Amino acid sequence: MQTHFSDLLVIGAGLAGERVACEAAQNGFTATCLSIVPARRSHSSAAQGGMQASLGNCAMGEGDNSDVHFIDTVKGSDWGCDQEVARLFADAAPIEMRRLAAWGVPWNRVVPGKSFYFKGGEKFEKYEKEEKEGLITARSFGGTAKWRTCYTSDGTGHAVMCTMDNRCAQLGINVFDKKEAISLIHDGDTCKGAVVRCLRTGRLEVFLAKATAICTGGFGRIYKATTNAVICDGGGHVIAHDTGVVPIGNPESIQFHPTGIVPTDILVTEGCRGDGGTLLDVNEERFMHIYEPEKAELASRDVVSRRMTEHMRAGKGVKSPYGEHLWLDIRHLGDKHISTKLREVDEICHHFLGVDPRTQLIPVRPTQHYTMAGIRTDKDGAVYGLKGLFSAGEAACWDMHGFNRLGGNSLAETVVAGGIIGAKIVEFLKGHETTFDTASINDAVNKQKKRIDDLVAGRCGHLNVYQVRNEMQEALMKGCFVFRNQKDLEETVQTLQGTLEKSRKVGLVSDGAGANFELGSALKLEGQVKLALCIAQAALQRTESRGSHNREDFPERNDQDWLNRTLAYWREGADMPELVYEDTTPLFELPPGDRGYGGGKIIPADAKYVKERTVKSPVTEIGKKK
């Protein structure tokens, strides 16, 4: 058995993972990263928009500061976030952007003078100041009071990923690609590393470490329709959750984006609608203005997704071999606008649909996009339940996003959280030694060997992995999508309980040799179904609507009963998750209030509860302003 040792093992080499590893390496610790794909192919690289940080350099960002960013983030979360964490994030973000600039990111910069921009289809003028020339500039994003999103063209995630991976190469960090952690090694108290399957040869290896960090991104792929890369399948969540002592935080908190293309669910940017694009139904007629007379297509993400779903339910969807959809129309924006401002959309339409958006309609529908849900950590990134285990980025529920995250906050979180949590890991490593018990390592490996042998030999059954996976994906689409209600959720839970049984009776069709994908899928299937059950059960229990969690039967945001976070444990041998709840946030800088968009009724929290936890802060006053 090939065995590797390092001070820090990072599972997942996207932006969060590599940033954590850099922090450890810069402080003299050895760090190893594992990735299913070469690091630069990580899903971080697919993020086009940018990173929110309140540098306030550009004209439309003037007067911005971390207080304003904090307020936007808390409101965006529908008061579902941990405000201590949101504060840490908002304060550190500008410094992190500058650090990335020093490391090599080619941020777009302020160009002084007059220029134009579009809002709601109308043209406006702005003037950039001479004294700000050459500083990091920003663009506009939804749900923000200022232009705050730092970017490099339409490839921010890609550019930052290149720089971070270069930094890892410079620091001599071992970044292994095509290695997948399939189990943690732990003794119920401390995490000691992972059992890893080599995706080149299929062989098992052991990676031991004093500290382990899971930075494997989201788990959108357990849904049928998602914008996520195929690697965002919850592998990291599965191995943490499987320990029985680590909870998933707010599993019901899943974001859906209105405009994924059909088929393939690749995202086309919100900019289409921002620049004046419209949504059409089967009769090629607009409909958003009927539901939302004021904002129409420019209502918030959760609202547009909700209305589109309603409209398709009313029989106005366009039927296709890939299911029902609606149309996005940007034809009227004209050739020049499409070839310059919406170049990416143009390319996506060309390559993936064979559609020319100048003359043809784009098939779109709401699709899973982001998991605010994740491995629950404290504000230091330390995972609940196991010492020596950390998590950062989309994989984690550090919880700055609560029940809805803002565009540009996810990509920023990867590097900001990576820096903060990386520093906490360094603190941990400085005072920590551990012992490795070869017998328990062998046990962990043998357990995985047996699972593999059983799957290959079909000892537990011969059910088809893809069919069982499909049943899980369809069940989530039915009960845990944009709208949720008691009846559908109960049915989904029931279906998934059956799927869980089936997932334990899967056997391979192929022989599982070498870089076999069927085996990889089969190994994580049971864990994925458990995640799906956590979503469904937590969504069933949460009898309110908050952010992206919309209960048709409970449309109010209920701060009185539900100002809390779900923690979903899966105890050993159990057939259902155990749900416990903790306070959403230990303190309020910004006491619960109206977001100022999205509408809906609020059942207020107990005044005494809020008052006791409210701290003096500059944002209490700023936050009152709409």
Residues designated catalytic: 257, 273
Eight-class DSSP state of 40: G
Other beta carbons within 10 angstroms of residue 382's beta carbon come to 19
Per CB under 8 A, 153 contacts another protein: yes
> Of residues 62, 133, 187, 443, which one binds another protein by CB under 8 A?
133
Residue 162 or 373: which CB sits closer to another protein? 162
* 138 sits near another protein (criterion: CB under 8 A): no
Residue 17, both tokens: 């993972």
| 375, containing H or E segment | strand 374-376
The residues near 444 (Cβ < 8 Å, ≥ 6 apart) are: 183, 185, 195
- According to CB under 8 A, which one of 4, 59, 129, 158 is a site residue for another protein? 158
Q: In the range 218-257, which residues lie near another protein by CB under 8 A?
A: 229-231
Q: Which is nearer to another protein, 397 or 525 (CB)?
A: 525
User: Which region, judged by CB under 8 A, interacts with another protein, from 139-147, 199-207, 326-334, 541-549?
Assistant: 199-207
| Out of 511, 561, 575, 583, the residue judged to bind another protein by CB under 8 A | 511
- Dihedral sign (CA 434, 437, 443, 445): positive
Q: Which of 180, 413, 471, 518 binds another protein (CB under 8 A)?
A: 518
Alpha carbon distance 191, 206 (integer Å): 13
Query: Closest Cα partner for 257 from 481, 518, 505?
Result: 481
Neighbours of 560 (CB within 10 A): 14
d(CA 290, CA 458): 55
Interacting residue with another protein among 27, 65, 166, 190 (CB under 8 A): 166
Nearer to another protein, 177 or 552 (CB): 177
* Contact between 295 and another protein per CB under 8 A: no
**Piece of 315-323, 525-533, 558-566, 602-610 that binds another protein (CB under 8 A):** 315-323
Contact with another protein (CB under 8 A) among 1, 290, 314, 515 = 515
- Cα 105 to the center of its chain, rounded Å: 22
Residue list 476-495, contact with another protein (CB under 8 A): none
Structure tokens at 560: 């009185």
Piece of 82-90, 384-392, 443-451, 516-524 that binds another protein (CB under 8 A): 516-524
Of 110 and 602, nearer to another protein (C-beta) is 110
Residues of span 436-465 touching another protein by CB under 8 A? 465
Can you spell out the DSSP letters for 113-143? EEEEEEETTEEEEEEE-GGGTTSB--B--TT
List the one residue from 135, 423, 477, 576 that touches another protein (CB under 8 A): 135
The distance of closest approach from Cβ of residue 355 to another protein in the complex, given in angstroms and rounded to an integer, is 9
> Among 343, 351, 430, 571, which residue interacts with another protein (rule: CB under 8 A)?
351
- Candidates 63-71, 194-202, 366-374, 528-536; binding stretch for another protein (CB under 8 A): 194-202
| 334's tokens | 């004209």
Structure-block tokens of residue 119: 């809002």
Nearer to another protein, 157 or 385 (CB): 157
Site for another protein in 74-113 (CB under 8 A): 95, 97-99, 101-104, 106-111
Q: Which of 1, 169, 314, 574 binds another protein (CB under 8 A)?
A: 169
Q: Hey, what long-range contacts does 450-453 have (CB within 8 A, 24 or more apart)?
A: 451/523, 452/204, 452/512, 452/519, 452/523
Choose which of 77, 83, 137, 585 interacts with another protein (CB under 8 A): 137
Q: Which two tokens stand for residue 184?
A: 């943690």
At its nearest, how many Å lie between another protein and the CB of residue 251?
25
Please check whether residue 151 is in contact with residue 50, taking contact to mean a CB–CB distance below 8 angstroms: yes
From the CB of residue 438, how many other CB atoms can be counted at a distance below 10 Å? 8
Nearest to 161 by CA among 12, 373, 380, 27: 12
Q: Nearest approach, Cβ of 586 to another protein (angstroms)? A: 27
Positions 10 through 49 that interact with another protein (CB under 8 A)? 37-38, 40-43, 45-46
CB of 177 to another protein, least distance (A): 4
In whole angstroms, give the CA distance from residue 309 to residue 307: 5
Residue from 27, 117, 118, 177 in contact with another protein (CB under 8 A) = 177
Please select the residue that binds another protein; options are 315, 321, 431, 573, rule is CB under 8 A: 321
Our finding on whether 353 is near another protein (CB under 8 A) is yes
Do residues 34 and 180 touch, judged by C-beta distance below 8 A?
yes
Give least dist CB 92 to another protein, A: 9
| Alpha-carbon span 181 to 374, nearest angstrom | 17
Q: Which residues are within 8 A (CB) of 316 and not within 5 positions of it... i.e. 6 or more apart?
A: 281, 282, 283, 287, 326
Q: Is the CB of 75 or the CB of 179 nearer to another protein?
A: 179
> Min. distance of Cβ 369 from another protein in angstroms?
13
Q: CB–CB of 341/272 below 8 Å?
A: no
